[in-house]
Amino acid sequence: MTGPVLETRELGIAFGGLKAVDKVSVSAERNRITTVIGPNGAGKSTLFNLISGALKPKSGQLLIDGVDMTGASPSRTKAAGLSRSFQITNLFFELTVAENLRMAAQVLEPKARAFLPLARSTRALAKTDEMLERFQLGHKRDELAGNLSHGDQRRLEIAVCLASEPKILLLDEPTQGMSHADTADTAKLVRELSRDVSVLLIEHDIGLVMDLSDHVVVMHQGRKLAEGPPAMVRADPAVQAAYFGH
Ligand code: ADP
Ligand code: MG
């Protein structure tokens, strides 16, 4: 496939009188990291909700891999290859690390995927082992997700997202609440992930944004204020005024 893996065309939604996302056009290139930045309330998470199908747009279009997915439900966008990680963790705390992964990987099974006994889900089991190794969680496979450190939970969360082999990964502030060390680890991980999957990231840590992103989109008051390579965006006077506050 050529062309962007994800594209929004003048996508919009309003809550009452508030234009939370106002005619926003963004496109994400294959196996690149596209980062959305902007002050609190800029509309970043709402944009992700429109992309995932959690919210229906009032106007505009959404294309996944060139296919019109405007107004599609979350299960349809998921089937089209979209995976989302929430600001609030979406792990099952009362299940083990391996069980969380196996559940996510279950969609890889060809038939009766929800009903196949876990022990016979060979693709899901293989994927679980692959993820445990890749994310260095093998020694914690039988620990309850709820008992992991914050950093390990975030790593598991990303692994859970990848276990279903998505095309596009939406990450909404994955480093929020993390220590410096865990933030650096996550950055490394996201960079590594982008080899297999196209990443659309919302991130607050501007150092990380500059370091990680191939393309940066700046939102402000529901609108797209600027976009481009990280260094260019950072030097943009309009961005400096709105976002960096000088
Ligand atoms: P960001 O993620 O950039 O901080 P959000 O997308 O969460 O911003 O919010 C954008 C604006 O839309 C904010 O003013 C927020 O209060 C408002 N908003 C978000 N979701 C809803 C909702 N479900 N109902 C009403 N207003 C909302
Ligand atoms: Mg947000």
Q: Enumerate domains of the chain plus CATH numbers.
A: 1-81+166-246 (3.40.50.300), 92-165 (no CATH)
Strand, coil or helix: 65: coil
Name residues whose C-beta falls within 8 Å of residue 226's C-beta, 6 or more positions apart in sequence. Answer: 217, 218, 233, 236, 238, 239
**Distance between Cα 153 and ligand 1 center (Å):** 26
CA 79/CA 74 separation, integer angstroms: 9
Q: Whose CA is nearest to atom 17 of ligand 1?
A: 20
pLDDT in tens, 104-144: 888 887 765 556 666 667 889 999 999 999 999 999 999 99
Only one residue has tokens 């994955």, namely 174
Q: How far, in Å, from the CA of 200 to the mean position of ligand 2?
A: 13
Ligand 1 pocket test, candidate residues 11, 40, 46, 218, most atoms within 8 A of CB: 46
Q: How far is the CA of 110 from the centre of ligand 2 (A)?
A: 35
Residue nearest ligand 1's atom 25 by CA: 15
In a 13 Å sphere around the CA of 91, the CA atoms on its Cβ side amount to: 27
Q: Of all atoms in ligand 1, which is nearest to the CA of residue 42?
A: 3
Please give the number of the atom of ligand 1 that sits closest to the Cα of 55.
23
Cα 40 to Cα 30, 45, 133: the distances in Å are: 28, 10, 36
C-alpha 173 to ligand 2 mean position (Å): 8
Which protein residues are within 6 Å of ligand 1, measured from CB? Answer: 15, 18, 20, 38, 40-46
Q: Which two tokens stand for residue 201?
A: 């990231």
Q: List the chain pLDDT tens, one digit each, 246 residues.
A: 678 999 999 999 999 999 999 999 999 999 999 999 999 999 999 999 999 999 999 999 999 999 999 999 998 998 899 988 765 567 999 999 999 999 888 888 776 555 666 666 788 999 999 999 999 999 999 999 999 998 898 889 889 888 988 999 999 998 888 888 888 888 888 888 888 899 999 998 888 999 999 999 999 999 999 999 999 999 999 888 877 665
What letter does residue 240 receive in the DSSP assignment? I
| Identity of the residue numbered 68 | D
- Which residues, other chains included, contact 209 with Cβ-Cβ below 8 Å and sequence gap of 6+? 35, 37, 203, 216, 230
Question: How far does the centroid of ligand 1 lie from the alpha carbon of residue 40, in Å?
Answer: 9
